[in-house]
Amino acid sequence: MAAPILQINDLEVGVDDTPILKGVNLEVPQGEVHALMGPNGSGKSTLAYALAGHPRYEVTGGSVSFGGEDLLDMETDERATAGLFLAMQYPVEVPGVSVMNFLRSSLTAVTGEEMKPRDFIKKFDEASALLKFDRSFADRYLNEGFSGGEKKRHEILQMAMLKPKFAVLDETDSGLDVDALKVVSDGVNALRGDDLGVLIITHYTRILQYIKPDVVHVMYEGKIAKTGGPELADHLEANGYVEFGSEEVAGV
């Protein structure tokens, strides 16, 4: 087994003095895809934003190692430069900033050097083809007027261009129809490989029908309650989260 690119030990996180994560232990080896499931309110998105360095999420205990470095000691931009990527559940609109300018600025910030225009356009066109992202969107303002599927495709397009070491996909399947879900999933699968670790955060199992995880974790009440293989997702689809104390289903 490869060494973990992400290693979380006893992580505690609160929001507005309310404890949300209560001792999370989780590790993802480089090259593996892990799924983090759980009912609403269990702390899944809190983990995603805490890893990304969102200032609202206060780490009150524990540690996070990323590529052998202390992730919690890094500023948000340093985490991105180190190779951490977050695809957000609700991508924000940024009026006045075009898709092309955003991507070019992001790529320059992460790599530390500006790509030649011809090389950048080639890279953008390849990523757009992979995600079936309309080339005409390049000059539109970031996510402004985009459908839910277009926003999520653009999130994975960013991932394709930035080539992170580790990607956290926070409910990327939320609000997608079957066609958009398949396109997004195909994009993620095309990027899978030995140099990329992935944590898919999801409430339901449907995205895992397209992106097969190596390991499935269940989060409940701020902790990892169970870990297993891909068959654990099938179990949750059939039984929901009843055994963890929740009546919510997982198979929608």
Q: Go through the domains of the chain in sequence order and give each one's CATH number.
A: 4-91+163-244 (3.40.50.300)
Please report which confidence band the pLDDT of residue 242 belongs to, taking 50, 70 and 90 as the band edges.
Answer: confident
**Whole-number pLDDT of residue 34:** 98
The pTM (predicted TM-score) of the whole model is 0.93
How high is the pLDDT of residue 251?
63
Q: In this structure, how many other beta carbons lie within 10 angstroms of the beta carbon of residue 19?
A: 15
Residue 249 clears pLDDT 90, i.e. is over it: no
- Sheet of strand 84-87: strand arrangement: 84-87, 166-170, 197-202, 33-37, 215-220, 223-228
Beta bridge partners of 4: 29
Q: Sorting pLDDT into bands at 50, 70 and 90, what band is 240?
A: confident
The answer to whether the CB of 205 falls within 8 A of the CB of 235 is no
Q: For residue 83, how far is the Cα from the chain centroid? A: 12
Q: How far is CA 16 from the centre of its chain?
A: 24
252 pLDDT higher than 70: no
pLDDT at 68: 94
Q: Can you tell me the distance from the alpha carbon of 161 to that of 172, in angstroms, rounded to the nearest whole number?
A: 17
Q: Each residue of 95-119: pLDDT tens digit?
A: 999 999 999 999 999 989 999 999 9
Ramachandran quadrant class, 47 (left: phi over 0; alpha: psi -120 to 50; beta: rest) = alpha
Give the whole-angstrom CA distance, residue 89 versus residue 54. 14
Instruction: Say which residue the tokens 């900033």 belong to.
Output: 97
How confident is residue 135, by pLDDT bands cut at 50, 70 and 90?
Answer: confident
Higher pLDDT, 135 or 73: 73
pLDDT > 70? residue 129? yes
Residue 48 tokens read as 């995603």
Q: How confident is the model at residue 190 (pLDDT cuts 50, 70, 90)?
A: very high
Residue with the two structure tokens 């995603």: 48
Instruction: Identify whether the C-beta of residue 28 lies closer than 8 Å to the C-beta of residue 197.
Output: yes
